[in-house]
Structure 1
C-alpha cells in the first residue's frame, strides 16, 4: 500500500515542476489523468452505495463487508491511476528527450550566430554601445582605432562632449535619450573635434537600446559630411525661420513666377492680414506695382537691389529701406522702417550742417577729436592753415599722427624733447579745464592754440592765427612813426581837425606855407585861432568855409578843392577831405609854379587853335579859289585838242596832254582837300543808298584801268563771297576804291597783279586791295593816314599824301574802319570794313 505513493508523489512533483516551469501538459496526458481520477471516484461511490443498501457478493460469492469493499475499491483506483501514470511517464520521457535534442541543436545554432555577431561587432571599423532596461552600465563592443579623435577608454568614449564637436555631442545626447526613453530610432552623422566624421545609428531591440558608431568610406564620408551639413543647415534654417518669423520687419520670399512663397508675421501685420498664410493666399503685396516692376527689371541684370521706398502702412506713409536679393529664380526681400531714423538723421544732418557751415565761415582753424583721439571734424580754415590733403583728413587720423605729420612736414618748431612736449600737449584729453599754448611755427606765424576738453571725451582744438594781429600792431606802430616822419618831411601842408574844431595833427609844411611860425601853433589849438592867424596872409580867405565844414553838422560831408592866393603871390591849392570819426583833413600845396606854367600852356594852346583855324580857313579859301581857274584850264585844254580849234604839231599836242594831266591831278588834289575840309567841319553828308557791289567794283577798276595798262599791271576782282548789295554813299565808296587802287598801282611791280576782293564778315562788308609791292616799314605805317605825308618808298610818283587820309575819313564817316596789313616780301593789303547798314540808313529806317 506504501509503494505507489512515492510514484504518485513523483508524478505530482513532476507535474508541479512542469506547472512551475510554465509548460502545459499535452491533451492525451490530461485525458488519462482525468479518466483515472474519474474511475477511482466511481468505484468509491459504488462501494459506498452498496455498503449502505445491500451486501455485495465478490470473489466467489463470498460475503464481504463494507469496509473490505471500500478498501478494494480504493486499491483498484490507485492501481488504475498508477498504471495510467506509468504510461504517461513513458510517453513524456520520450517527448522530453526529443525536445532536449531539438534544444541542443538550437543552442548550438544560437552559439554560432552569437559568435558571428561578436565577430562582426568586434571589427575595428565600428563600435557598439548597448543599454539594457535594468539601468546597468552599458556594454561597449568593438574598436574605432582608425578614426582620428575617437578615444579608446570606456569612460572617455561615453563622455561624448569630450571628443565630439559641441553641436554633434548635443545632438547625440538628445538622440540617445529619446532612443532609451521612447524608442525613437535615429541616423545621424557626428563630427569629432579632430574633424573626422562618424555615422551613428540608434535602434531599439526589446529591452535593449543599441547605438552603433561606424567609420565611413570616402563616398560615405562625403555623404556623411553632406548629412552633417544638411543637419547643420536644417538647424540653422529652423533657427533663422524662427528668428525671421519674430522679426518686426516685413520679410518675404518670391518664386520664379513672382508669387509670394513665404512671409513673416510682420509682413502680415503690414498688409493687414490675420496670418502670414492668409497674406500669401490673398496675394497681398506690401510694395506698389511700379516698385515691384522696377525690382524685377533690376534683378534681370543685378542680383542685389536696395532702395528707399515709400510704403503706406496702417494709413501712414512711411519710408522703408527695401533690400532684395535674387538667386536661381528665388527672390528674398526685407523692408526696414527708416522713417524715424531718417527723421533723426535729417535733423542730425541739419544740425551738423549748420554747425559745419558756421565753423567753415570762421577764419579761425577748428578741429574736433573724439575720445579715441580720432579726427571727427575740421573746417576749411584748419585745412588751409596746415595745407593738409583732403584725403588725409577724411581718413580720420588720430591726434598723434597729425602732430607727427606736422613735424615731418617741418610745420612745427623743433622741440628739445619732442616726446615730452607731445605728451604734455595730449594731456588735454585727461584734463578738465581748457589749456592754452603758443606756437611759433617755422614760417614766422604765431598761433594761439586752445584745447577745450569735452565732457564725454574728446578735445576741440582751436588754432587762432595771431600773426596778422601782431604784424598789424607792429606795422601800426611803425606806420605811426613813419607817418610822423613822412608828414614832417612832406612839402605838402597837412592839418587834421577833430569834430570839436581842435587841431589833432599838423606838419611843419603847414606852418611854413601859412607863415605861422610866430603864432606858435600847437595841437589842440582851436580852428578859430588858426583862421585868425591865416586870414592875415590872404585877401580872399577860404577859412570861413573850412570852419563851417569842421564845426558844422552837415549830413553830407563832401570833399572840396580850391585855390587861394596869398599876398606875396604864392598860390596854394587846398583840399578838404572828410575822415572817419568826424575828423577833417586839410591839405595845402604850393602850386605857384604849376599855375604859372599852366597859364603859359593855355596861352600857347589858344595861339595854336587860332593858327589851326587860320590854316583851315586858308585851305578852304584857296581850294575854292583854285577850282575855278583849274576848271577853265581843263576846259580850254580840251578845246585845244578838238579838231575844230585848228591843227597842232606833235610837240604842241604833247604839251597840251601834259597840261591836261597836270590839271586833272591838281583838280583831284583840290577836291580831296575840299572833301577833307568838309569832313573836318562836320558838314559833309552822305547820300546813303543801295549800291550794287559788283557794279561799283567794276567801275572803280575801269577808272584806274588806263594807269594799270600803262605799267602792264593786271587787276583781279573776287566778289564771290560778297553780298549782292550794300547800303553806302555810292560816290564816296567809288572814291575810296579808286584811291586804294591808285595807291596799289603806284607801288605794285610791273607785270604784277592787283587783287580787289569783297566778302561779308558777320555784320560787316570787307573790301580788300592787295599789291605785291615792297610793303611799308613800321615808321611809315604809323603815319600812313596822316595828311600831307607823302612817302615814295619805292613808288613810281610822290603824291600829296591825301589818298589814304581820304579813304580813312570816308570809311569812318560810314561807321567803318580801315586796317593795313603789310610786311617785307609780302606786299600790302588795305582792308576797309563797312557796316551792312550805316548809321544814316539806320536812322532813316527808324
Structure 2
C-alpha cells in the first residue's frame, strides 16, 4: 500500500480501472469499487474522462475522502490508445485528517512542507502507507514498500535509544534518526490524526554529510553531493507562507478600515503600510514560486482549447478596480469576439494579468490601455498596448531578463513577471515580444498556436 514513488494505473476506453499499483487498487476497493472496474473516485474519474474525450494530457490536485484517512494527491491523465494512463504523485494525508490543527496549525503545516518523507501509521504506529521525495531515501522507500504492518521504528535507527516498539508516540516525536542509505541526519515528527493513527514526517537536520573525511571517502560520490534544494520555495515553503501572509494582510485591512473600532489617522496609515507590505511580500513569494516552476526540468503546461478574447475579458475584470482607481480605461475585445487558441488557460491568464497589470502601473493616469487579439495563419495573438513612455529598442530584450527593473524601484515589482511570462509563452509553443504601439507606449504581443479547427467551426 505504500507509495514511495509515482503510482501508475491505466483505464480502458470506458474509464474502467484495469491496471493499478497496489496503493490505488486498494483505495479503489476501500471506496466500494471493484478492481478491475469503474473508477470509484468521482474527481479522478472526471479528470480521466476529460483527458480521454479531449485527447489531451490533464492534471490536477485531488482530495479523496478515504475511510482510513483523507488523502490528497496530484493526478495526471494522459490519453493512451483508446484508454488513459494515470500517474499519481504527492500522495499524502490531506489537511482534513490532521488533529490539533487549530492549536499548532502553522508549525505543523510548515513541518509538512519541509518533510521529505510522509508515512501514515495506524494506532499502533505500524506502517499503512507512505510517500518519499528525497533521492537519498531510496533504501527507506524500499523498506516502506516491504514494511506494511511493521513498526516504523524497525526501518530506522533512533539515536540514543535501543528500545523497540511499543513506545508512546510522544517519546518518539522529535527523535533524531539515522536512515540507511542517507548521509544526512533526520528528525522524526509524529503527529496524531483525527480518525486515529499517526502521520510520521522525516525532516532533514543537516544538508552536508556528517561523516568524517576518512568515512566520506567510502561513500559513493553521488551520495556525498549536497541534496538538491531546487524547488524548495515553490513546492514546500510557498504553501506554508501563504496563510500567515494573507492573515497579516486581512488583519491590517480590518484595522485600516476601522472595522475593529475607532482609530486615529496615524494608525490607519500604519495599517495601510502593513497591508501594502504584506501584499508585496505575497507577490514576491508567488513570483519566486513561479520562477522555480518554469525553470524546473520537465516543466510543461497543460494545453487546452481556449479563447484569447475571453481570457482578455476575464483578466480585465480582475484588474478593473485597479484601473478605475488610476482613471485608466480598458479597451477590450467585444463580448462576441472569439480567438480560439491552444494553451493552458491558467497560464495564459497569468501572463495577461502581468501584462495588463504592468500597463496600468506604468502608464499615465487618465489614459487608455488597449487589448486587441486576432489570428494570423497558424498563430493566434493578443496584444496589450498602453500610452506610457514606451520601451527603447535597445531595451526590448533586456526587459525580459530575470530581475530586470529598467531602473525602477519602490513600485512593488520583483522584476520577474515578464521573464516568467516569456518562459510560459515559449513553453506553450508561442512567444512574447514587445515593441511600441501607435500611441507611442509599449505594446506587448503574446502569440500561441491557433486552434484552426475551432476557428473554422465558428466561422462556418
Higher normalized helix content (fraction of residues): 1
Structure ID, larger Rg: 1
Alignment TM-score, normalising by the size of structure 2: 0.43
